[in-house]
Amino acid sequence: GQQVMQIPQYQHVQEGEDFTTYCNSSTTLSNIQWYKQRPGGHPVFLIQLVKSGEVKKQKRLTFQFGEAKKNSSLHITATQTTDVGTYFCAGLSAGGTSYGKLTFGQGTILTVHP
Amino acid sequence: EAQVTQNPRYLITVTGKKLTVTCSQNMNHEYMSWYRQDPGLGLRQIYYSMNVEVTDKGDVPEGYKVSRKEKRNFPLILESPSPNQTSLYFCASSPRQGTYSNQPQHFGDGTRLSIL
């Protein structure tokens, strides 16, 4: 079945440093979503990428979808303590009969030291 | 207020004692899903439902049952809970889901289950 690998599992940064997390799928994706989960909270939707090579920005966050639609990345510029949390990607497989089956990556836990 | 409501939020129970975790959404969403979250494993989909009376297995369906008799409710049933089902469970909903209509999911606050 479809697998989505996310790296790194943990990332510790000093406030002001940049941060990147990567997702790689074993199959071509129809689209990919990114979520953020604050400590003790539930995942909250950040963005969805649909097109091959798509790049979207939200303030200091930049999201990319690979040309082959099998990988994606989230980059945070100049991290702040409010960026702390776990970042997940979630991919929907292209084609097939499992139209509703979303596969999440393992998540990257980001800690930011002030 | 648009929301996904799970109950209970916390439960400690014993092996073999049937339990149900309820999930209700007030957004008229077609798609609902259950996930379990375990350290190092991320979110794994248990079951999902594309609409009323339509349910499908996710990645880890063993030991769980679901039903979707009404659009707003999607209960998760553990007929004979075992310790390896100790986990944090999330219910989520979205307007629709599919190859051409993947839409953001709204998550409930989670249910922490401990099976002794």
Pairing of strands B42-51, A44-49: unpaired
- B34 neighbors B64 (Cβ within 8 angstroms): yes
Domain A4-113: assigned CATH number: 2.60.40.10
Contact B41 A99 (CB under 8 A): no
- Give the integer Cα–Cα distance in Å for B36 and B86: 9
Burial profile B43-78: b = 16 or more Cβ within 10 angstroms, e = fewer: bbbbbbbbeeeebbebbbbeebebebeebbbbbbeb
Contacts with B43 from chain A: Cβ below 8 Å: 43, 88, 90, 104, 107
- Give the integer Cα–Cα distance in Å for A59 and A96: 36
Greater confidence, A95 or B23? B23
**Residue B44, amino acid:** R
Contacts with A92 from chain B: Cβ below 8 Å: 97-99, 102
- Give the integer Cα–Cα distance in Å for A39 and B20: 26
Strands (E) across B52-107 are located at: 54-57, 65-66, 76-78, 87-94, 106-107
Q: What pLDDT, on a 0 to 100 scale, did the predictor assign at position A51?
A: 93
Q: What average pLDDT does range B50-74 have in this prediction?
A: 95
Q: What pLDDT, on a 0 to 100 scale, did the predictor assign at position A14?
A: 97
Q: Is A5's Cβ below 8 Å from some Cβ in B?
A: no
In chain A, which residues have pLDDT < 50? none
Residue B105: closest CA among A87, A34, A60, A53? A34
Chain A nearest-CA distance from B96, in A, is 9
Q: What pLDDT, on a 0 to 100 scale, did the predictor assign at position B80?
A: 96
Contact A48 B48 (CB under 8 A): no
